[in-house]
Structure 1
Amino acid sequence: MLMNFSFHKALRARLRRGVPLGLLALAAAALLGGCGRAASSEAASAAPEAAPPIVQNGQLHFPPGHPQLALLGVATAQPSQNIALDLPARLVWNEERTERIYPAFAGRVAAMRADLGQTVKAGTVLALLASPDFGQAQADAAKARAQESVALKALQRQRELFAAGIVARKDLEQAQADAVSAQAESARAVARTRLYGGDARVDQQLAIKSDIAGVVVERNLNPGQELRPDQSGPGTPALFVVTDPSVLWLQIDAHEADLAALQPGSRFSLTVNAYPGERFTGQVMALADAIDPTTRTIKVRGVVPNPDRRLKAEMLATVHLTQKSPGGVVVPAQAVTLRGNAHVVFVQREPGVFEPRTVTVGNEGQSQVVITAGLRAGEKVVSQNVLQLAQQYAMGIEDAGVKKEAQ
């Protein structure tokens, strides 16, 4: 009413100022049209909402035509046959063909002889280290060899004097003991230097060598860098990592129910994101003797041939294999939820009526779950928006309890 009064007042004012009636008619039509749209919007918002589902006899009932029913995908439980398992895995270096090189003596890097990606043979020098500590070991070896020589000459003289009857037997025996001791010390000192590539010279040059043939896949060394023996050990990067990348290891995270298909000698295929649609083959080599208490998984090691070196260490992979059916039925993995420690599925008893049911899970895959008890083949289970349905069921149970207390 107030709007009409204001409009007529404005109309009279425009007429007094000589505004054309055509323009006034257009303004009136726009104003009335806007009011009509507002009224339609208010009427639409006042439309009644669909009635919520209710719980009766342990079942969740939706009213006919409820819009949420279109969002609940339903799948039919199928008899279990051979199960396709997809397990997460990670490619790593083959530790039986890998060497990690750490410093044996303190020193400074004098020269680099190898770099990443370089193919090396056993005995190839990777770097030269100027090491006073290694020079001390070389000097000890030289002293030990000189003392051995002196002890052997003294023994020879004692033998000649004993044969001439000039010295006593105990002097000869003492010379023999000194010679044996000097020989042992010389052998020890020389073996120590040879272990690290030293020879008869005292040059303080320690050659860092590879003991295996392979490829340099990691280098954590630069010219002039100072090194110490305490820089080696767990958590410390090696100076060089040399490996044979033609054969890789695969670390598989498996569940207890998957172990039957992952025995030593079992063959599998795997895929990686770098080569979509392409499959590689491998073989199970060993299983861990303990299950991780946090993830409830067990580590399985496989070996994967990699002759063309297309696969790389630390690639994430998916292992594909087949396990014999344990019986029961198969449903989509999205259909199974957890309620406490129990596995639950929602069975469609009839259109719009759903019943939660506790089931026993025999095998859990990424896309399918085998149920060994609690569900029959041919029954229909909700496979989409299951968590929302479970929440509505819990709310329905709570509302039913409140109403019962009110009565």
Structure 2
Amino acid sequence: MNQHVPVATQNVTSSPNITTYKAVAVTRAIQSAVLRPDSEGRVETVFMTSGQTVVQGQQLLKLDSASEELKLAAAKENVEVAERVFERIGELKSRGVAPDAQYDDAILQLSEARFALKEAELALERRYVVAPFSGTLGLVNLSAGAHVTTDTDVVQLEDLSSLLLDFSLPEHTDGSLQPGSSVSISQMTSHASHTAKVIAIASGIDPQARTYWVRAAIDDPKPWMKPGMSFMVTLTVKGEEYPVIPEVAILWGSREAYVLKIVEGKARRTAVTVIRRRNGNVWVDGDLTDGDIVVSDGVHKLRDGHPVSVPQNQSDQPASVGEATQ
């Protein structure tokens, strides 16, 4: 007859399989552009300074535009002349004096004059470099008198009202984030955490890397946050709940892992599948529920069906659990 074997036990408790994923992302401005002139020429006036905050449509630089200004003045004069001719021909036509062909010709000349005026206005506008959006300028290296072409970099303009971060995550986390979800970010050299909000998620999975891309935004970033900085993005995913037991309670057979669950005073072999290990605890999948008791010490003294005894002063509180990091 088998004698009762004294063992230590542990209550089974369920806990979600919490996994933390980390990814590195580099910030960039929500809008960024290197501004270049629309035409070639000599710089006449520089209206900007390095690091200046500008608004959309603000003039930053002007090229020599004497020729364009003369052409614009001539185009305006031509429009005025064409309008006077059109009015006179129209009055004559209303009295039956001017033929239809002469009236049609006056309409055509007025249209051509107005079109030429639009071209002259556009040519003058192209002698200016203006801000396409509101933002902050980079370093200005041009001065009056410099010759520029359409390939000359005038200045970089960035909208720093929001910073973007693109990062990738494993495909099995797909569905954990939605636009509007928050992720924690921290600078690579600091443990201080900040929050970024997901604004877009890629529609597909990279077939080679088995990852997908996520775009997050830092709204109203701190003054020290700049484009090009590296951040660690942290995502915590709460998975399914599994029974949690001490790692020492796991035994390994020839085909499977198992634990010894105490049922009516006897040790019963119960097959389990190890899901995750963390801080001396194991998340398992098997025929275990909250409140079940498993042998945590003395497992090697027992066989399936062996009677056991538990000391009265033994603590069978469930072990504390943590989260895994990837």
Same fold, TM exceeding 0.5?
Answer: yes
- Asked if 1:258 corresponds to 2:192, the answer is no
Identity %, equivalent residues: 25
Cα 1:194–1:292 shift into 2, 3 Å = farther
Q: Is the 8 A contact 2:16 2:238 kept in 1?
A: no
Does 2:94 align with 1:158? no
Tell me how far 1:185 sits from its aligned partner. Answer: 3.3
1:141 to 68, 72, 75: 72
Any unmatched runs of 5+ in structure 1? 1-77, 197-205, 233-237, 331-346, 364-369, 379-407
Query: 1:347-386 deviations in whole A, cap 9, x for unaligned?
Result: 9959xxxx9xxxx9999xxxxxx9999xxxx9xxxxxxxx
Q: 2:60 corresponds to which letter in structure 1? A: L
Q: What are the equivalent positions in structure 2 for 1:195-344 lying under 5 Å apart?
A: 195-196=125-126, 206-219=127-140, 221=142, 224-229=145-150, 231=151, 238-274=153-189, 276-293=190-207, 295-326=209-240
What residue in structure 1 maps to residue 104 of structure 2? 173
Match of 1:299, as an amino acid?
Answer: W
Q: 1:168 to 1:303 in 2, by over 3 A?
A: same
Q: What is the rounded CA distance, in whole Å, between the counterparts of 2:274 and 2:124 in structure 1? A: 61
Query: Per-residue displacement from partner, 1:280-305 (whole Å, max 9, x unpaired)?
Result: 11110002234445544322111113
Higher relative contact order (CA 8 A, sep 6+): 2
Q: Counterpart of 2:107 in 1: which secondary structure? A: helix
Q: 1:91-115 CA deviation, whole Å, 9 max, x = no partner?
A: 11112xx454221111233444333
Q: For 1:4-403, what aligned pairs fall within 5 Å after superposition?
A: 81-95=17-31, 98-130=32-64, 137-163=68-94, 165-190=96-121, 192-193=122-123, 195-196=125-126, 206-219=127-140, 221=142, 224-229=145-150, 231=151, 238-274=153-189, 276-293=190-207, 295-326=209-240
Gap change, CA 1:328 and 1:257, over 3 Å in 2? farther
Q: Which ranges in structure 2 are unaligned for 5 or more consecutive residues? A: 1-13, 245-249, 257-272, 277-281, 286-293, 295-326
Match of 2:232, SS? strand
Structure with bigger strand share is: 2
Distance in structure 2 (CA, Å) of the matches to 1:319 and 1:164: 80
CA distance, structure 2, for counterparts of residue 303 and residue 111 of structure 1: 37
* Shift of residue 214, structure 1, vs aligned partner: 2.6
Pair 1:129–1:160, CA change in 2 (3 A): closer
Aligned to 2:316: none
Q: Alpha carbon RMSD of aligned pairs, Å?
A: 4.0
Would you tell me which structure has more helix in proportion to its own residues?
A: 1
Give the C-alpha shift of residue 165 in structure 1: 4.5
**Per-residue deviation, 1:87:** 1.8
Q: Take 2:53 and 2:75, find their aligned partners in 1: how far apart are those partners? A: 38
Q: Decide whether aligned partners of structure 1 residues 169 and 244 sit closer, same or farther in structure 2, where only a CA change above 3 A counts.
A: closer
CA–CA distance in 2 between the matches of 1:194 and 1:176?
Answer: 26
CA drift at 1:86: 1.3
Q: Is the 8 A contact 1:218 1:242 kept in 2?
A: no
After superposition, give the CA deviation of every residue in 1:186-224 in whole Å (9 maximum; x if it has no partner): 23432x14644xxxxxxxxx3323243332135464655
Contact 2:37 2:128 in 1 (8 A): no
Conserved? CA contact 2:69–2:124, under 8 Å: no
What is the count of residue pairs matched by the alignment? 248
State the secondary structure of the residue aligned to 2:195: strand
**Closer, same or farther in 2 for the Cα pair 1:269/1:155, shift >3 Å?**
same
